[in-house]
Amino acid sequence: MPTTDVAAPRVYVVTGAGSGIGQATAAQLIDEGHRVIGVDLKNTEVVADLSTEDGIAAMVEEIAALTSVVDGVIANAGTSLQAPMDVAIDFFGAVGTVEGLLPLLRASDAPRVCITASAASLHPANDDLVDAMLNGDRETAAAIGERLVAAGGGAGYLNYSSSKQAVARWVRRNALAERFVGAGITLNAVAPGLVLTPMTEPLLATEEGRQQVEEGMPSPLNGPARPEDVAAAICFLTSTAAGKIGGQVLFVDSGYDALTRGDDSW
């Protein structure tokens, strides 16, 4: 999926750039001749903890010292711990990154934003938790997340699925807000399904693990994705070629969304 940006180098911020989808995205952008400011907990140009407001503010300050313009923000950092940390990073970290970098995005001639959601956004979610996130209420969201973990029986997973649903809804809700469209900033998300990473490969190495994965998130179209497959979609959505695409949640999920919802989403 070419981005057509090779002749026009751009500046991108990629969070979660130390591994997985973020690392693959940064590598593709660099191969295309762009500058990438990677953000992660270690081994990146900017080291930051995006689970806290202070960590996000420190990241924004450091990036502002490195560049006066950001052409693309790829808010990819995330966890799948089935705990309140998923809410803190996957939702509040992503949204805080985008909002904190808006001034630098407004300096771009073709500003783009892409957040990594997940096909898990189609899984059951906790409505109160989603509402707390969308209302920007960190304290209430954390308290609900802790109660879900304490409930046991797999309820802790709702921290993850709820955060990804909230991200997808936040993108849809804000893509046409004046602070974005007024500056020509496109806001979209990708929703990966099962992706082959060092975290998932051991699970897929056993028949029991493969059966568990197939039941939870099947991949009928050519099997599980590679990080590079998701990176290609992200690079397109944040390229100059994608200037008319806004408020979309692009499922890069080997057909899971179509299998799950059919044509009901329309």
pLDDT at 48 over 70: yes
- Dump pLDDT digits (tens) for 32-43: 999 999 999 999
Q: Given pLDDT bands bounded at 50, 70 and 90, which one contains residue 7?
A: low
What local confidence, expressed as pLDDT, does residue 203 receive?
A: 75
Of all helices (H) and strands (E), which one includes residue 11?
strand 11-15
> Among 20-24, 197-201, 244-248, 253-257, which stretch is predicted with the lowest mean pLDDT?
197-201
The CATH number of the domain covering residues in 11-198+226-253 = 3.40.50.720
Terminal C-alpha separation, the chain:
26
Q: Are 25 and 14 in contact (CB under 8 A)?
A: yes
The three-state secondary structure class of 46 is strand
Q: Which residues pair with 113 in a beta bridge?
A: 73, 187
Residue-averaged pLDDT of the chain: 94
Model's pTM, two decimal places?
A: 0.94
What local confidence, expressed as pLDDT, does residue 209 receive?
A: 82
Helix axes 127-134, 138-151, angle to 10 degrees: 160
- Dump pLDDT digits (tens) for 165-209: 999 999 999 999 999 999 999 999 999 999 988 777 777 788 888
User: What is the distance between the alpha carbons of residues 214 and 223, in angstroms, rounded to a whole number?
Assistant: 10
What local confidence, expressed as pLDDT, does residue 215 receive?
A: 84
Q: Given pLDDT bands bounded at 50, 70 and 90, which one contains residue 4?
A: very low
The three-state secondary structure class of 251 is strand
What local confidence, expressed as pLDDT, does residue 5 receive?
A: 47
- Dump pLDDT digits (tens) for 58-80: 999 999 999 999 999 999 999 99
Region 88-99: mean pLDDT is 98
Q: Where exactly are the structural domains of the chain? A: 11-198+226-253
Number of C-beta neighbours around residue 140 at 10 A: 15
Q: Given pLDDT bands bounded at 50, 70 and 90, which one contains residue 244?
A: very high
- Dump pLDDT digits (tens) for 148-159: 999 999 999 999
Contacts with 211 (C-beta within 8 Å, 6 or more apart), sequence order:
none
The dihedral through the CA atoms of 172, 173, 178, 180 has a sign that is: negative
Half-sphere exposure of 68 (CA within 13 A, CB side): 0
